[in-house]
Structure 1
């Protein structure tokens, strides 16, 4: 580090931060009576960032919504299977079939040809559950992707949604 002489017109060299060096050079003796600087107290401040969601990638939304709807389908299928097994074990479907059969019998011994026991068979109940679940997967995935595209169109017009993020403590 060079110290300019009084007749030298060159500016003093800058320190590592780009500003002129403050204080004595390394290795120089400290002036008498000076105290070492105290360490600054660390205070907890919450940092905040103001961001704008200006675009949502439709392909990423499609993949995410497909996976989420697939997981929901599996949960739905397992829940229906467990509930069906519990109700079947309690005899609810047999009692329902007997009640419907008693209600549909004719007065002179003629029966209306319905078979309520087949309505509540495990294959039919779980088959309809699978059909509704597959339809839900397709619809949720498609609607989520279309919603992402519509958001992108609206965000081009108005600039998106402003979000403020703050650092958690």
Structure 2
């Protein structure tokens, strides 16, 4: 018995000549919000790990030894969990705005460049 003959692989060569800026904005916004959530959660987990390992206490002892003050310094007053969450949330919001705006700008620049040089060629195959 002979095996069935293999069909020819079809190939299509396409050119990405335009990118929809609205779609780029939606995707960039969604991905940057996900990155912002990851940033906030990671900073809070890092703060908890540093607190559980006693790093803040060690820094307080080092600062009181170097400063020579009797009452000592309290680094957790400045780097509290609330301040860390607030700072990472602010950074994430700014990151969402900047990434969304820069992605739209990149899409506009791609559309201008694609109109001048023809876009990016893509070859699709049928397996």
Q: What residue in structure 1 maps to residue 51 of structure 2?
A: 88
Q: What residue in structure 1 maps to residue 126 of structure 2?
A: 167
Aligned ranges 1:34-49 → 2 under 5 Å: 41-49=4-12
1:150 matched to 2:118 = no
Aligned ranges 1:57-76 → 2 under 5 Å: 57-76=20-39
Q: Could you tell me how far 1:45 is from its partner in structure 2? A: 2.7
The one-character-per-residue Cα deviations of 1:30-77 (angstroms, maximum 9, x if unpaired) are: xxxxxxxxxxx4414322110000000111100100000001111111
Whether the 8 Å contact between 1:53 and 1:162 is mirrored in structure 2 is yes
Q: What residue in structure 1 maps to residue 83 of structure 2?
A: 124
Choose between structure 1 and 2 for higher RCO, CA contacts under 8 A separated by at least 6 residues: 2
Counterpart-to-counterpart distance in 2, 1:154 and 1:95? 55
In structure 2, relative to structure 1, the CA distance for the partners of 1:61 and 1:163 (3 Å cut) is: same
Q: Could you tell me how far 1:115 is from its partner in structure 2? A: 4.7
Gaps of at least 5 residues in structure 1 are 1-40
Gaps of at least 5 residues in structure 2 are none
Secondary structure in 1 matching 2:13: strand
TM-score, normalised to structure 2, is 0.87
Q: Could you tell me how far 1:146 is from its partner in structure 2? A: 0.4
TM-score, normalised to structure 1, is 0.66
Whether the 8 Å contact between 1:101 and 1:116 is mirrored in structure 2 is no
More helix by share: 2
Greater C-alpha Rg: 1
The list of structure 1 runs, each at least 4 consecutive aligned residues, that deviate by more than 3 angstroms after superposition, is none
